[in-house]
Structure 1
Amino acid sequence: MLKKVMICMGAGVLAAATLTARAEVEEPGEGALARWLLGPELERDHGIRISGLLDVGYARNNRSTHDEREDGLSNMPLTGFSDEGFELASLHLFIDKPLVANVVPRVTPLPGPKPEALSFGFSIETLYGRNAQFARTYGWDMHWPANSPGDDDAEQAKRDREKFVATPNLFASVYLPYGPGVSLIAGIFGPALGYEIPPNIREARNPFASKTYAFVSEPSTVAGVLASTRLYNGESGLLGAELGVVQGRNNLRDNNHGKSVLGALRWRTADMQTWVDYEFMVGDEQNHNVDDVQAPTARLISADGQLRQQHSLNAWHAFDSQWSMGGELVYGRQAGDGKAGTVDIVTGPGFDGASWWGINGVVTYQYRKDLAFSARGEHFRDRDAFVLFPTSSARGDFNALTVGLRWDATRHISIRPELRYDWFEPLAHDRIYGNGRDRTQLTALVEALVYF
Structure 2
Amino acid sequence: MARKINRLIAAVGLAVAVQTSGGAIADDKPPMGWLIGELGDSGITVSGWAEASASYINNDGDSTLPQAFFNREEGLILNQVGLFIEKKPKGNVVGRVGPFPGPMPQEVDFGFNLTAIYGSDTKFFRTEGWDDDWADNEDPTNENFITLAQAFLDIYVPVLGGSNLMVGLFHTPLENEIGFSLPPPAPAPFFTRAYSFMHGPAKHAGALFSTKLPTAEGAPLWGAEIGVVQGWNNWEDENGDADLIFNLRWRSPDLATWVDWENIYGNGADDGNPVTETGSPIPAVSALAGDDDLKRYLTYLTVSHALDPKNRIAVEFTYGSQEKALIPGIVDADWKGVNINWHHQLRSDISLNVRGEWFDTDGVHALLPQDGTVTAFTANLTWNMTHALRIRPEIRYDSFDGTGAPFNGDDSQLFAALDVIFSF
| Aligned mates of 2:274, 2:323 — CA distance in 1 | 22
**Displacement of 1:173 after TM fit?**
1.8
Aligned pair in 2 of structure 1 residues 292, 366: CA closer, same or farther (>3 Å)?
A: closer
SS in 2 for 1:300: coil
**Displacement of 1:198 after TM fit?**
4.5
SS in 1 for 2:36: helix
**Displacement of 1:47 after TM fit?**
1.1
| Aligned mates of 1:96, 1:181 — CA distance in 2 | 21
**Displacement of 1:292 after TM fit?**
11
Identical amino acids, percent of aligned pairs: 34
Please say if 1:215 is aligned against 2:200. no
SS in 2 for 1:431: coil
Return structure 1 stretches of 4+ with deviation > 6 angstroms: 288-295
Amino acid at match of 1:364: H
| Aligned mates of 2:130, 2:271 — CA distance in 1 | 19
Match among 225, 232, 247 for residue 264 of structure 1: 247
Aligned pair in 2 of structure 1 residues 147, 130: CA closer, same or farther (>3 Å)?
A: same
Counterparts of 1:351-430 in structure 2, within 5 Å, are: 351-382=330-361, 384-386=362-364, 388-389=365-366, 391-426=367-402, 428=403, 430=404
**Displacement of 1:205 after TM fit?**
4.8
Please say if 1:226 is aligned against 2:216. no
Select the structure that is richer in helix.
1
Amino acid at match of 1:119: D
SS in 1 for 2:308: coil
Aligned pair in 2 of structure 1 residues 283, 366: CA closer, same or farther (>3 Å)?
A: same
Aligned pair in 2 of structure 1 residues 25, 315: CA closer, same or farther (>3 Å)?
A: farther
SS in 1 for 2:196: helix
SS in 2 for 1:33: coil
Q: Structure 1 residues 356-365 or 205-214, which shifts more?
A: 205-214
Conservation of the 8 A alpha-carbon contact between 2:232 and 2:280: no
| Aligned mates of 1:347, 1:270 — CA distance in 2 | 46
Conservation of the 8 A alpha-carbon contact between 1:53 and 1:201: no
| Aligned mates of 1:203, 1:127 — CA distance in 2 | 11
| Aligned mates of 1:82, 1:289 — CA distance in 2 | 20
| Aligned mates of 1:324, 1:251 — CA distance in 2 | 34
Q: How many residues align?
A: 402
SS in 2 for 1:353: strand
| Aligned mates of 1:304, 1:202 — CA distance in 2 | 39
Q: Structure 1 residues 278-287 or 299-308, which shifts more?
A: 299-308
Please say if 1:240 is aligned against 2:223. yes
Conservation of the 8 A alpha-carbon contact between 2:272 and 2:279: no
Conservation of the 8 A alpha-carbon contact between 1:30 and 1:412: yes
SS in 2 for 1:46: coil
Q: Structure 1 residues 352-361 or 137-146, which shifts more?
A: 137-146
1:52-105 per-position Cα deviation (integer Å, ceiling 9, x unaligned):
0112111001112xxx33xxx345442132221111111111111111011000
Please say if 1:190 is aligned against 2:166. no
Amino acid at match of 1:375: V
| Aligned mates of 1:104, 1:32 — CA distance in 2 | 23
1:17-39 per-position Cα deviation (integer Å, ceiling 9, x unaligned):
xxxxxxx931213112224xxxx
Equivalent residue, structure 1, for 2:281: 297
Aligned pair in 2 of structure 1 residues 132, 291: CA closer, same or farther (>3 Å)?
A: closer
Conservation of the 8 A alpha-carbon contact between 1:77 and 1:392: no
| Aligned mates of 1:179, 1:417 — CA distance in 2 | 45
Equivalent residue, structure 1, for 2:110: 120
Conservation of the 8 A alpha-carbon contact between 1:222 and 1:252: yes
Equivalent residue, structure 1, for 2:406: 432
Match among 311, 317, 342 for residue 305 of structure 2: 317
Q: TM-score, normalised by structure 1?
A: 0.83
Aligned pair in 2 of structure 1 residues 201, 432: CA closer, same or farther (>3 Å)?
A: farther
Equivalent residue, structure 2, for 1:52: 48
| Aligned mates of 2:304, 2:80 — CA distance in 1 | 27
Equivalent residue, structure 2, for 1:21: none
Q: TM-score, normalised by structure 2?
A: 0.88
| Aligned mates of 2:394, 2:173 — CA distance in 1 | 24
**Displacement of 1:176 after TM fit?**
1.4
1:99-149 per-position Cα deviation (integer Å, ceiling 9, x unaligned):
10110000121110000111000001110011111111111011113424x
SS in 1 for 2:123: helix
**Displacement of 1:290 after TM fit?**
10
SS in 2 for 1:132: helix
**Displacement of 1:424 after TM fit?**
0.5
Match among 18, 32, 35 for residue 34 of structure 2: 32
Please provide the CA RMSD for this pair. 2.8
Amino acid at match of 2:82: H
| Aligned mates of 1:78, 1:451 — CA distance in 2 | 23
SS in 1 for 2:122: helix
Equivalent residue, structure 2, for 1:61: 57
**Displacement of 1:206 after TM fit?**
1.5
Stretches of structure 1 that go unaligned for 5 or more consecutive residues are 13-23, 152-156, 337-342
Equivalent residue, structure 2, for 1:252: 235
